[in-house]
Every structure is written in C-alpha cells, then in structure tokens.
Structure 1
Amino acid sequence: MAEEQFAKIAHALFLLANELSLKAFQNVQQARFIAERQAAEAALRVSEERFRAIFEQAGVGVAQVDSATGRFIRVNRKYADIVGRTPEALRATTVFAIAHPDDLPVLRADAAQLAGPDGADLSRELRCVRPDGAIVWVRLTAAVMSAADEGNACYIAVVEDITSAREAAARQEQLEAQLHQAQKLEAIGRLAGGVAHDFNNLLTAILGHAELGLQATGPAGRANPAVVESLTQIERSAQRAAALTRQLLAFSRRQVSQPAAVDPAGLIRAAEPMFRRLLTENIALEVQVPPAVQAVRADEAQLEQVLLNLVLNARDALREGGRLTIRLEDVHLDQPDAREHGDLPPGAYVCLTVCDTGCGMDAATLERIFEPFFTTKELGRGTGLGLATVYGIVKQSGGHIAAQSTPGRGSTFRVWLPAAEAPTPAPAAATVHPPATAGHETILLCEDDETVRFLTAEMLRSAGYRVLLASGGTEAWRIAADLDAPPQLLVTDVIMPDINGRQLADELAVRWPDLRVLYLSGYTADIIAHHGVLDPGVEFLEKPYSRARLLARVREVLDRAPAGAPLPGDAVRASAGGAR
C-alpha cells in the first residue's frame, strides 16, 4: 500500500514538474517573443523615423497619391515648394488640379496606367501651374506602391523642378537658330555680293553703250525716233538694274559707306512730312522722339534708307488701316542679351523702333524676312530687297536689328545703332560750279573685263584724254616701265586675276609718288576698305557708271592737290555710281 501510494505521489510530482517546465518554457518563449516584438517595433519606429526624415528632407518633391482619384495622401515640403503651395493645401486637392490644362490628357492617361492591373512605372516632363499663374516644368517619376493605403491603390510620385534647365535649353536652341540664320544670311550675302560685282560689269557696258548710242544718233531732228526710244529704254532698264544691285550690295555689306556722326532725331523730324504723304488716310502715324537723343555713327543717306524701308514695310502691313509708331530712345546695354541684341558689345546705343498694328507674321515668315528676294507680297508688288537692305545697312553700321510679330496683331522692328559724339555743324555751302570734264592728261587704264575696258577707254578718249590700256596689273606694270614720262592718273579695277588694284597702285607709287589713283569696282573690297568704309585718301567710283559720272570723277581726282599736299576736309571722297 505504501509503495502504491508513493508511486501515485511520484507520478503526480512528475506531471507537476512537466507542467511547470512547460509553463516555464512557454514563459521563456513568450518573453522572447515579446522581446523580439519590442525590438521589431523599435526597429520599425527607427525605420519610420528614418523614412519620414528622408521623405521630408529629400532634395526632390515626393508625394503619395491615390491611384484612383489622384488625391494627395502625403506630400513633402519640397514638392509643395515646387508647385507653390503648402503640404496641407495639397492634401486637400489632386494632381490634376495643379497640372497645366494642355498636359491634363497625358497626365490622366498616365494615372489610368498606374491604376491598372499591370501598372508600370513611368517618367515624363510636364507643367504645373502655381497659384500666381506661373508655370513650372517638372520631371515626374511615378512608381506603384506594393502595399495599399487604407485599402486604396497608391503610387509614389517624385518630381524635380527643371524649369531653369528647360529655359536654358530654349535659350541655347534660340542662340543656335540665330547663329544658323546669321550664317545663312552671311552666305547669301557673299553670293549676292559676288553676283552684284559681275552684274555691275555687265551693266557698265550696257549703260555706257546705250549712252554712246544716244550721242551717236545726232540732233533730234535727224535721229530715228524708234532707235532713240529703244536706246532710252535700254538706259532706263540698266539704271533700274543698277539700283537693284546697289540693294544687293547693301544686304551683303559691300556698298560704299561714309559714316559720320548723324542726329537721328533730326533725321526723323525732317522725314516725317514725307512719311505722312506715303501713308493712306486710315493709317495714324505717331512719332515719339525726345528732345535730346545721342548721335549715331552711320552713313546719313543709308540711315534715311533704313527709315524709309521700315516705314514702307509697315504701310504695306496696314492695308486695313491702323497705327504706325516710330520711337527713338537712348539705351545703355550693360549686359546685352544675345537673343535680343545679337552680338552687340556692351555700350551706349540709340534704339529705333518702328511698330505697326497690321497683319503681322507667323514664325516661319519671321525667320526669313531678312533674306534677299523673300517677300509675302503678291507678284509685282515688291522685289523682296527692302528688309534685306535694312539688315545689311544696320550690320555695316555696327548695329543690330530684331523683329517681333504676331499674326493679326502687328509687327515691331527694333534697330540698335552705336552712339557717337554729337555731329559738328556743317559749314556753309560753297558756290558749286559745274566741273570741267574734258582734258588732255595721260591716263593708265587697268581693267580685266574687256568690254568694260574698251568702253571706258572710248569714254575717256572722247573727252580728249590719252589712254593707255592694260588688261591686268602685270601688263600695266610693263606699260609703265616703258614710259619716259609718268601718267597723270591710274584708273584701275580693284579685283583682278593677277594682282589687285591696290597692289598695282602701291608699286607704281614707288616710282611716281605723285601719281593719282581712281579705283573702279562693283563693290568695295577689304583691300581698299574695311567693311565697306573707304580707307583715308582712297578715290573710288562704283560700277556701273555713266560717261558723265566717269568724266566728272576723273576730272575731280586730277584737279585735287598732289599727294602729300594738305587736303582741307577732303581726305575721303566716294561716289555711288550710275547715272544721276
């Protein structure tokens, strides 16, 4: 009995020990689980704090967005700053409410893609609108979240402000377009200048022979009227063609220029009555010229041409009437903007603005307006050289021209010209006596174009001059070497195949220091000029020229003081050739 009772007690104790051991194990496990859970919760808190710090302090905008509605759930400060709002204000709105209207269709399509079952990450550039109306460009990167928030699918949107980068890229693109346009105009200018040079040789022959033909018809009573009329029409056509080539030369910046300090305000006031006569009654002209404006350094006649062409261009754009404004103002460019001022250096300028409220131009037309022969007018209403001429004159004067236009709202042309010291008052005009054109002096004529050479020689011989002919610089030098007495005048083309006219004149001047020189050319070259401005002391006659103009210039050069003698106020003289 005692053993049986002992066994029962032992079994009970064993069961109790097992139960206590199990409870101890469970307590240990529970303690371990609690410790692990507490550690996990602590790690989660650290992770959440770290994520919250990264979220809030990120250098880019970050937001959690409801995929279905586009509602902002969480937004960091950077995102709010980029779009110009507070985080609280954003949480009360949607991504669609702050998007630019033009970008909404694309943004809604992206949101639908993110909300779909196969939602994929995406990245694109789009615009947001700030409360003040300012537009900000952002690069949006969106990724679907793996976990849902409150049962709704969400995505993370990361935005980066790229407004400055977009503006810089746009500026770079515009500068590249301007460079391309300038290079294109320069290439066209070189072509136009070359064509004008060769064309002027042809016109010299046409105009000269027509003039000689008219003289050969004799007195009007004995002349054949039909022949006289034909020769007269040839002469007039040649003169019109000469005017056309002068416009080409203006565009190519190879025309003769005599810059001086010019008062642009006085020029505009003097031309205002003529401008009013050119305009129809339904066009109101407003001239805004302050009492005192700086002078500019330019050729006065060419500056008048710039004004006239801009006014005529505005008039043609105001067919239905409107307002034409001419404005003049002093400006100082401390840091010229290449997009507006081209390659102008910093300094003082005078800005001429011609603005109209006419039909305006689209971007494609605006890009080509300074190209020669480009015109939007119907056939027969213009040569397309008006604005090309303006462009060439402004560039040759060291200035810049820019145009702005909107279809249906008009156009604005702005011309910047370098300021100069005030012009000195012109001396009282002396009594002008008709110059003598005949003479007996010996002239060495050097011209590589055979037609022009023989025509010019005939003109000179008909006035009594003795003419020695040379087809180039080398032949002229050989003729000069055989002469016992020097010629009184060298008349030479500027551009020739062997040596140019300047080199020939310099070589002959070594032997004959008092030899006078008259240069002939279809355009001024850099060997006698710098950008079309004649070097001091250079005598120049532009082709095509008439017999009367040739003889007048020859006599003028022969009658001036010899080289080395004082030249009071007469260092540089030039002529824009052709019949006057």
Structure 2
Amino acid sequence: MDITHGRDEAVERPRAVHVPPAAPRLPASIVGVMMGIGEEITEADDAFLAIVGYTREDFEAGRMNWAEMTPPEFLHLDAAGSRQAAESGGFTVPYQKEFYRKDGTRVPVLLVCAFIPGADGQWMGYAVDLSAPTAQRARATDARTPLRAPVPQEFYVRLVNELVLERARMLAMLDNTDALLWAVDPQLRLLSANAQFHAAQRQISGHDLEVGDAVVGPQFPDDLRALWTAYYHRALSGERFVELTLQPLAEGLRYFESTFHPIVDQRGRITGVSVVSQDVTARHQAEDALRTSEARFRTLAAGSPLGIYLMDARGQVVYANPRLNEIWHLTPDTPFGREAMEQRIHPDDRARVFAERDAALSEGRPATKDYRLRLPDGSERHVRTRITPVREGDRVTGFVGTVDDDTERRALEQRVRQTEKMESLGTLAGGIAHDFNNMLGVVLGNTELALGDVDALVPEGHALRESLREIRTASLRARDLVRQILTFSRHSERQTAPVDLRALTQESLRLLRATIPSTVTLDARLPDDPVAVLGDATALQQVIVNLCTNAEYAMRAEGGGFLSVTLAVERRGGPPAAVLAVRDTGQGIPVEARDRLFEPFYTTKPRGEGTGMGLAVVHGIVTAHGGTIAVDSAPGAGATFRVSLPLAPTPPVTEPRPTPDVHGRGRVMLVEDEPSLARFATQALTRAGYDVTYCRDGIEALHALDEPRGAVDVVVSDVTMPGLTGDKLARELLRLRPGLPVILTTGYSHLVTPALVQALGVVALLHKPFTARDLVGAVRDAIEGARTTAADAGAGPVSGA
C-alpha cells in the first residue's frame, strides 16, 4: 500500500525533509523494505532479505517474525517506537537496533516504520544496513531473486537515504564535540550517546555501555548509582536543572556540569531524559583559585591596620574592610560611602575633600588627601587617604582606596619636633653653662671667702653673716639648677637619693614667700613626720616652685586669691605614695588647652610673659621619677595639680654638717682663663697653706714647667680654654711628667666624660661652680695620693721637695 496517499489527517508529515531533484540515484547504503501485521512480516524485498541473510525461498517457506529476529535487549526500543508511532499517527523516530541473521550473527540496522492509514495494525518499515560496506555489497550481490514486495516510490528511497546521511552528519557532529551527550528512557536504559560519553563511561566503570543497557547498572558504585538515579528521576518528573559532579577519570578527578532535560513528546508526555555534560574542571579550578585569592585578600584586608575599600568606576563603594569602620567610628553594619563620609569629615575640610575626590574619579587618576574627622564624641582624628585607579587596558574599571589614621603619626612628629626643640634648648643650655658656672663660681667662691673673713670680725647672728649665708645657699641651689637643666636636656646623669619631700616643700615655700604678692594667701598643710621619696632634690624643688608660680599667675587676673599646698601619704589601692597637691582659685584651664597642657613651648600667656616650658619641665621631672601628675580644673573654679611619687624604701639622708676647714702643704699650678675665678681659687688655696703658680692658658703652663717655678705637686686646669684645652694639656703633662697628679675643672663640656678622665689618668674632675672646700679637698687628696704612690715605689716626693 502506498502510504503517501490517503493518510489520516492526524499524521503529520516530516517538516525537515528536503526533496532533491528527481534524478534517480543508488542509495549510499542497502535499504530494505518490509511490510507486516503485528509481529509478522508479510512482505519483504530482496534487499531486506539480504540484510538479514535469508533467500526468497526461505521467506516463502515459512513466516518471518520480527520480534523473534530481534535480540531481547532491543525489544523495548521496538515497543517504544510502536507506541510513539501509534500516539503520533505517523512515522516512528528513526532508531538503531539489531536483527538476528539466519546464521545467528547480528546485523545493526537503522529502522524507520509507519502505520498504513486505513489498515488496522498494518505497517511498513525501512531498514538501513549499518554494517561494513563490503558486507553490504556481498549481500546485495547475493540478492539475485526478482523483487516481489511492493517497490516503494523513489521519494521514500531518497527520504531514507537523507535520514541516513543526516544521522551520519549528526553523529559526526556529536562525536566531535567536547561535551558528553546521551539520552535514557523512563527505565533508565541508554537510548543514544556520543563517542565522548562512551569513552568516559569506559574509564569510570571499565565496561562498554551499549544501547539498551542500564545507565545506572551494578557496574557503578552504590553511592554513584543512587546519586544519578535521583538525578534522572528529577528530570523524568519534569524538572530541568544543572548539577556539578565529580568524576574519576584517567587524567585525575574532573568536574562536570551536567544539564538534565526531560524529553517530551507531541502530546506533552515525558518519554526520556537527555543529558549534556561539560567538563568544567579548568573553570572550577579557576573559580577555586579566585575564591582562594578572594579569601586571602579578605583575610589580609581584615587584618590590615589600614582601612581598605574598593569602588566601581562610578565611585560607588563595593567593599570595605572592618578596619575602615573602626577608623571612622561606624558600626560594623553601617555601609561606608558618601553619606558616611559627609557625616564624619570635618566641616572645614568637607568641600575640599569632595572636590579633590570627584576630580580624581572623573579623570581616572590617583589622589592623596589629608583631612580631619569629627567623631560623635566631639574629638578629632587626622586621616590620610589615597585612591588608585584599577585599569583594564586603557579603561578604568574601578578604584582601590586606603585610609590611614594619621593621628598618632602626627602626634609623633609633633613630639619629634618638640624633642628637636628640647635638644636645641639643651645645646643652648650647654653652651652657656660654662660661662654661667664660671660666674656662679666667682659668686659662690667669694661668698665663702667673705664668710671666712667675717668669722673673726662679725659676731654670730649678725645680719651680714646671715646675708652671706643666704647668698651661699642660693648659689648652691643655682648650681644644682644648672645641673638640672643639663639633665633635662640629656647632657648629664641625674643623681638620685632619698629626699625628705616635707622639708624640701618647706624650704621651697620659704623662698617663694618673698616673690608671691601679698594679695595671694599661701596656705601649707604638711605632715609632722618626714616624707621620703627617691629622687633629685633640686629637680623636685623645681616641680614645687614651677607649680606654685604657675598657680600665682593664674590668679593675677582676679587680683589675688588662695594658694593651697598640701602633702600627704596615700596608701589606698596600691603601693604607698607621696601626694603633693597645689590648688589655686584662678580662672581655671580652658577645655581646648587641657590636652596640650604639658607640651613644651605651649602657653596661653601673652607673648613675653611665658615660654611654655614650666609645666613641660614639671611633667618631665615627675615622669622621670616614676610618678604621675594630674590636673583637675573647671572654668572659673581654679585648678588643682596632683603629683604622686613613690615612697623611698629608706629614710632620707640628712644634710651633712660642714666639715672643718681643710689645710695642706704643697705647690699647685692653677690654669684658668677666667681671671675672677682664678683669683678666688688662688685665695682659697693660699689660705689653705698651698703655694700657687697661676697660668692663663695651657701653652703658658707647658712653658712654666721648664722654668724654676715648674716644680709643682699638682696641676689644676680648666677644660675649656683657648689654644690648648684642658684634656689635651693633661695628656701632654702626663707625657712629660708621668705620675704628676692633674685635676680638671669644667662648667660644662660634652668632651670630658668619666671614661675619658680615667683613660687620661686624671685624678679628679671638679664641676663648676665648686666651693673652696671642694677645691682644697681635691688638691689635698691628689697630693697625698701621689706621695703615697711614690713612697710605695721607693721614690721621693713628686716635686722633689
């Protein structure tokens, strides 16, 4: 029956068929035609008989049953094709199967069948021989019997050949793609697959998977079989989805991204599942590397002391590390952006910052900005920000920004500048210390000489005697004060010993009473017992004097006030400490000045009335003594400074009583370029019984050694002199006269250190200003030491006298 005419209207003709010109041509493969009812083949042409290995006589001798000729594993494909054709009312979809040949061998065929319209159960089928071409030709040659089955029209012959060619092209295309492609039926049996799928399955299971085989058979591990069964059932339920799977292949573990899609027929029923599986190992590894890199970046960014943020090309912040919110004092969940910046940037800096930022963003260039933040508590912080463009070729794709809290660095720079100022001050103090100590030495020395003269002329208790003693006391304090300035400037070592802070406070207040105006009431509340602290008496006195003079100044605008000084021992909440409190009733300290109160050179006084060093010196001394200083003040309510110092473990050493006048015998060479100081030293030594030879500088002293007056027992020389300094003179003297005792005196010299004195062989180093007793005692000790050394060596006196 010609199925091209009289077809049921429900049967839909294939739309993809292209009919070439009608010129006849031989098929590329053997195409056999058969017809039948149910499972029985009622008619067959010689081509089909040749494909299955039967002759015409064999066919006519007995009936042929296509189901009996089909291997069992392909029967489900025939059943599926029959159902599909019956449901669609037309052709089956071409499918591949096998037939048993007469000799028992198998032959692969491509089968296309159609039900004949109007004939219940009758069908026509076309079988394309898919075996080797040589076998096809051999069977075609054997088929010499005339064709007795209905000969199909040329259209159907060409149609089948086109189907074969299309199938070949499709298989070639699928086999040459990198993806794994396969389809399964509802029973999870393989319908078709490309070469890549078969190769992968062979590596995974070690077996070849043929059409009709179960794709989740026992050759696979239980866990893998369960996983893929679940995938197929999801697709059979109508779900289209993508899964990432890991497969162990020969080259190692590989990642596959598999897309599952249900196969739906014309009536909307699911007849199977198609799967497209792409090897995405390289992409997965790249994504893993990207995730690792991103995690590493986030770890580094989270631990960075800098605030770090990323912006897109429009300037919108897409990432900010936690440190950024800490610097800006934002809660962790507050997004960082323009709104947060507007809230925190100081109003005076805001317009400049945004103008510079917007210009840098629009021009795609880096920019660095310094500005202030005003925090919710009213405090200010300095920050430094930098943005750098991120480029892809010539295109700016975003920006990287950093924020550094610059407050501490600025404070450090300020401290460095103040340190440099202090070093400059120390250099200046050291420069004038020599000359000042020379003048102070003249005052102190002549005062001592005057005291010696009045002992025989002025009765005890006379005002002159008391005045000279006050001059001497003030000169000694001035000497210690110069040493304190040098110590503060790091030019000398601080001498510490137990000090009675109560007695020191009493003495300081006694000196201050003469300078404090009568409009200021001074009230001192001191304990009855000594309060011992470990420290430098002169430095601690400077603390008391500076705090009291500062308090007095604070009350000048009020025309006077009340100055209270208290000292007590506190034993609460820690080791016992001496607490000195100085309170005034002045105007108080402004709020903006409290943070800078102890900075060197900072002052609220008018120009010419203060240097800004008083409280800075106090803070430095207290800190050096291991103590603390605090201030409590309110506008209009005065101020109270509290100094806390640790108590000394031992009681203070009482002031030694003046030793009796020192006398001696010997010849002294005095080398000093300051005439006033030379006169004092000469008188002090002469009164003590020594013969003195005076030289104005080191050159004169070397010449004097060659003269008759050069026989001396000891040389006393200043260090800082024109021409030849004292240390060089000492080196030359000891070269010429080994064993000659040399004493050096200095008001200030950074060149003469204890180590250098010891290396030179100098017996003593006297710091100016010194007293007559200090000078005479050092000379006596030097001469006696030299004589003792000479006697032990069996020689005579040093000078031969």
Matches within 5 A, 1:61-140: 61-62=310-311, 76-78=318-320, 83=325, 95-96=338-339, 99-101=342-344, 103=346
Shift of 1:233: 6.5
Which consecutive residues of structure 1, in runs of 5 or more, have no partner in the other structure? 1-52, 66-71, 142-156, 290-299, 328-351, 416-422, 568-580
Q: 1:76 to 1:539 in 2, by over 3 A?
A: same
Distance 1:87 1:211 in 2: 74
Which consecutive residues of structure 2, in runs of 5 or more, have no partner in the other structure? 1-289, 298-307, 388-396, 510-522, 552-562, 572-576, 793-801
Matched, 1:444 2:674: no
Q: Which amino acid aligns with 1:501?
A: G
Per-residue CA distance 1:136-187 (angstroms, 9 max, x = gap)? 968699xxxxxxxxxxxxxxx98854322x42xx444334333322222222
Matches within 5 A, 1:369-448: 388=617, 391=620, 434=659, 437-448=662-673
State the partner residue of 2:425: 188
* 2:484/2:538 contact within 8 Å kept: no
Per-residue CA distance 1:352-393 (angstroms, 9 max, x = gap)? 999989867545553326x9xx8979x999996786488599
State the partner residue of 1:473: 698
Q: 1:96 to 1:257 in 2, by over 3 A?
A: closer
Q: Which amino acid aligns with 1:551?
A: V
Which structure has the greater CA radius of gyration?
2
State the partner residue of 2:712: 487
Shift of 1:204: 2.5
Per-residue CA distance 1:311-351 (angstroms, 9 max, x = gap)? 77678889689999999xxxxxxxxxxxxxxxxxxxxxxxx
Determine which structure has greater relative contact order: mean sequence separation of CA pairs < 8 Å that are 6+ residues apart, divided by chain length. Answer: 1
Which is worse superposed, 518-527 or 385-394?
A: 385-394
Shift of 1:200: 2.0
Q: 1:80 to 1:310 in 2, by over 3 A?
A: closer
Matched, 1:509 2:734: yes
Matched, 1:367 2:599: yes
Distance 2:459 2:536 in 1: 46
Which is worse superposed, 318-327 or 538-547?
A: 318-327
Distance 2:422 2:773 in 1: 36
* 2:373/2:381 contact within 8 Å kept: yes
Q: 1:199 to 1:534 in 2, by over 3 A?
A: farther
Q: 1:172 to 1:455 in 2, by over 3 A?
A: same
Picking from 164, 179, 198, the partner of 2:435 is 198
* 2:744/2:762 contact within 8 Å kept: no
Matches within 5 A, 1:125-524: 161-164=401-404, 166-167=405-406, 170-216=407-453, 219-220=456-457, 235=472, 238-239=475-476, 241-254=478-491, 267=498, 303=536, 305-306=538-539, 309-310=542-543, 362=594, 365-368=597-600, 388=617, 391=620, 434=659, 437-483=662-708, 486-524=711-749
Q: 1:405 to 1:442 in 2, by over 3 A?
A: same
Which is worse superposed, 203-212 or 75-84?
A: 75-84
Shift of 1:475: 0.9
Q: 1:308 to 1:394 in 2, by over 3 A?
A: same
Query: In structure 2, the residue corresponding to 1:515 is in which secondary structure?
Result: coil
Query: In structure 1, the residue corresponding to 2:662 is in which secondary structure?
Result: coil
* 2:663/2:688 contact within 8 Å kept: yes
Picking from 750, 753, 773, the partner of 1:548 is 773
Distance 1:158 1:566 in 2: 91
Distance 2:471 2:504 in 1: 32
Distance 1:480 1:173 in 2: 60
Query: In structure 2, the residue corresponding to 1:448 is in which secondary structure?
Result: coil
* 2:373/2:380 contact within 8 Å kept: no
Shift of 1:468: 1.2
Shift of 1:127: 5.3
Distance 2:474 2:322 in 1: 72
Which is worse superposed, 530-539 or 207-216?
A: 530-539
Q: Give the structure-2-normalised TM-score.
A: 0.39
* 2:546/2:614 contact within 8 Å kept: no
Q: Which amino acid aligns with 1:209?
A: N
Which is worse superposed, 199-208 or 248-257?
A: 248-257
Shift of 1:550: 2.5
Q: Which amino acid aligns with 1:558?
A: I
Which is worse superposed, 177-186 or 301-310?
A: 301-310
Matched, 1:559 2:801: no
Identical residues among aligned pairs (%)? 21
Distance 1:110 1:513 in 2: 75
Question: How many pairs align?
Answer: 427
Shift of 1:490: 1.0
Q: Which amino acid aligns with 2:343?
A: H
* 2:666/2:713 contact within 8 Å kept: yes
Q: 1:250 to 1:140 in 2, by over 3 A?
A: closer
Shift of 1:542: 2.4
Query: In structure 2, the residue corresponding to 1:469 is in which secondary structure?
Result: strand
* 2:310/2:320 contact within 8 Å kept: yes
State the partner residue of 1:48: none
* 2:484/2:539 contact within 8 Å kept: no
Query: In structure 1, the residue corresponding to 2:723 is in which secondary structure?
Result: coil
Distance 2:582 2:444 in 1: 43
State the partner residue of 2:12: none
Distance 1:136 1:469 in 2: 64
Per-residue CA distance 1:24-78 (angstroms, 9 max, x = gap)? xxxxxxxxxxxxxxxxxxxxxxxxxxxxx9xxx999544799xxxxxx9x86344
Which is worse superposed, 192-201 or 482-491?
A: 482-491
* 1:445/1:467 contact within 8 Å kept: yes
